[in-house]
Amino acid sequence: MYSKLFKLVIAAITILTINILTTYLINYMINYKTHYKPLTYTLIEMGIMVLIFYPLFTKMEDWLNALSAKIVRKGRSFGGKYLGLLLTFVACISVLFCLYAKLWYKLDVIKLLFSGNLSHYF
């Protein structure tokens, strides 16, 4: 049972982390689209994405799986096998939640939490 939960947690953290990193990279590259004609930029962007993302995906998955597994294993010391896994998962998802809210809506969740205005956004 624990190994299935462990794999699920690792997969969720890895998927969300890869997605947010690639989204940031794509958004950064889109800033340069006004410098080129639309079809020229599209071809350049497609080439850059393949050149960057293929090795990035192949290596990043290994790196993030190893890092996620290490983080989750460290969480065991905070409360045992299951509680440590849960606490680590909640911590990782919370960090990713803050990053996604910042990326998608330009919201600083930590600031909203401390100001008491977080409930206005749910």
Domain count of the chain?
A: 1
**Can you give the pLDDT at residue 83?**
84
Percent above pLDDT 70 for the chain: 94
Is pLDDT at 77 greater than 80 in this prediction?
A: no
Band (pLDDT 50/70/90 cuts) for residue 88 is confident
**Domain assignment of residue 83, given as a range:** 2-121
- Quote the CA–CA distance of 32 and 38 in Å, as a whole number: 11
Band (pLDDT 50/70/90 cuts) for residue 3 is confident
Mean pLDDT across the stretch 76-102? Answer: 85
As a three-state string, the secondary structure of the chain is CHHHHHHHHHHHHHHHHHHHHHHHHHHHHHCCHHHCCHHHHHHHHHHHHHHHHHHHHHHHHHHHHHHHHHHHHHHHHHHHHHHHHHHHHHHHHHHHHHHHHHHHHCCCHHHHHHHCCHHHHC
Within 10 angstroms of residue 75's Cβ, the number of other Cβ atoms is: 22
- Quote the CA–CA distance of 121 and 74 in Å, as a whole number: 33
Q: Which of 20-29, 76-85, 93-102 has the lowest mean pLDDT?
A: 76-85
Band (pLDDT 50/70/90 cuts) for residue 112 is very high
